[in-house]
Amino acid sequence: MAKSNLEAVYQLIVDETEAVLKDNSDISRIEALMESLLTLQIDDGKYQYADLRKAVQFAYLYQLNEENVQANHQLTPDSIGYLIAHLVGLFKEKDHINLLDAGSGTGHLSMTVKEHVDQVNFHGVEVDPVLSRFNVALCDFLKVPMDIYPHNIIEPAKLTKADIAIGDLPIGYYPLPVQGYTTAFKEDKSFAHLLMLEAAMSHVEDDGIGIFVVPSNILEENNETIKEYISTEATLLMFLNLPNTLFKTENMHKSIIVLKKGYKPIEDIEVLIGDVPDFKNAEQMKLFLDRTDTWYETYTSKKK
């Protein structure tokens, strides 16, 4: 049985990665995969963008199965990436937009958005040197321009102002004391994901949008600083709970939060709060996406 285009590209990438490892046994599998993306010559006209992106994704997951890696080297699942892409498309109010990926990692989330949203200038900030280099290799392989800053987004930086910021934010405590952040705790270590959210929003244009994957209990536990932030510096538009089936345990559960920069109470319309259905249920998923579209139409009509 003939291989699909996706399977063919996947096999080319895996074989090239093994060849790189054979000649360079002292590097990690992720680094070998990165090298293979830079050296492989793929016929652009033969394969669709989605096949190329997914082939890299499956090759990356294969390498993870062969070699234990730290948690923040995991990829954002396509199901979540597609939903974020839908929301980016929903809030995209100009022909061309600048999009900032906070903690862009391998660049996989941005490249998933690219698959579904046209005319986007991509910018990523990633402090991990391996991930930022992989981001470069992925963009080179997919031939997608992306400005990638090997920088800690929590620290001051001059970045291009974005219309929309996205991010699958790593959860945990930030090891250093910080100043000038509303989301920072007065005592003890602050949450890195809250600081990254606030930092990303600081690089968004006034009235710009932030779309972030966050812990589902972000507004429930240790919530004083984030509640202050969304009542003074940002407006909460949506809070969407991701399906339980995506997570192994309850304490790993995540949601998508959508914010608008600048605080202004939403008049005559409620914040969209809801549970995202199981992504495998196509009918329920369509109804849910229709619900987000209807909410957005009402929201924009009230802004006028």
- pLDDT tens series, the chain, 304 aa: 567 999 999 999 999 999 999 998 889 999 999 999 999 988 767 899 999 999 999 999 999 888 776 666 789 999 999 999 999 999 999 999 999 999 999 999 999 999 999 999 999 999 999 999 999 999 999 999 999 999 999 998 889 999 999 999 999 999 998 999 999 998 889 999 999 999 999 999 999 999 999 999 999 878 899 999 999 999 999 999 999 888 877 678 899 999 999 998 887 788 999 999 999 999 999 999 999 999 999 999 876 6
Asked if residue 131 lies in contact with residue 73, where contact means CB atoms within 8 angstroms, the answer is yes
| Helix, strand or coil, per DSSP, at residue 57 | helix
The answer to whether 202 touches 235, Cβ cutoff 8 Å, is: no
Cβ atoms within 10 Å, residue 69: 14
Query: From CA 207, how far away is CA 164, in angstroms rounded?
Result: 10
pTM of the model: 0.95
State the Cα–Cα distance between residues 228 and 260, nearest whole angstrom: 15
Residues 6+ apart with CB under 8 A from 182: 198, 225, 228, 229, 232, 233
Q: Looking at the DSSP assignment, which residues form a beta bridge with residue 241?
A: 255, 275
Helices within the chain (DSSP H only): 5-23, 29-39, 49-66, 78-91, 108-116, 129-142, 192-202, 224-229, 282-303
